[in-house]
Amino acid sequence: MLFTLWQEARTRLSNQLANIVEADLLKKLGGAPNSAGFLMRHIADVELLFSKNVFAQKDVQIHATTVITQHDTGAWTNLPELLDYLKYAHDCLEKAILAQSDDAWSEEIITKEFGTKTKAEALGRIVSHTAYHAGQLAIVLKYGTSN
- The answer, yes or no, to whether residue 147 has pLDDT greater than 80, is no
Domain locations along the chain: 37-143
* Entry pTM: 0.95
What pLDDT, on a 0 to 100 scale, did the predictor assign at position 31? 86
- Residue 55 is given by DSSP the state S
- pLDDT bin (cut points 50, 70, 90) of residue 7 is very high
Residue type, 38: F
Average pLDDT for the chain: 95
Per residue in 81-135, pLDDT (tens digit) is 999 999 999 999 999 999 999 999 999 999 888 899 999 999 999 999 999 999 9
What pLDDT, on a 0 to 100 scale, did the predictor assign at position 84? 98
Q: What is the mean pLDDT of residues 72-86?
A: 96
- The answer, yes or no, to whether residue 12 has pLDDT greater than 80, is yes
What is the C-alpha separation between 118 and 57, in angstroms, rounded? 17
Q: Which segments of 18-118 does DSSP mark as H helices, in order?
A: 36-49, 65-69, 79-98
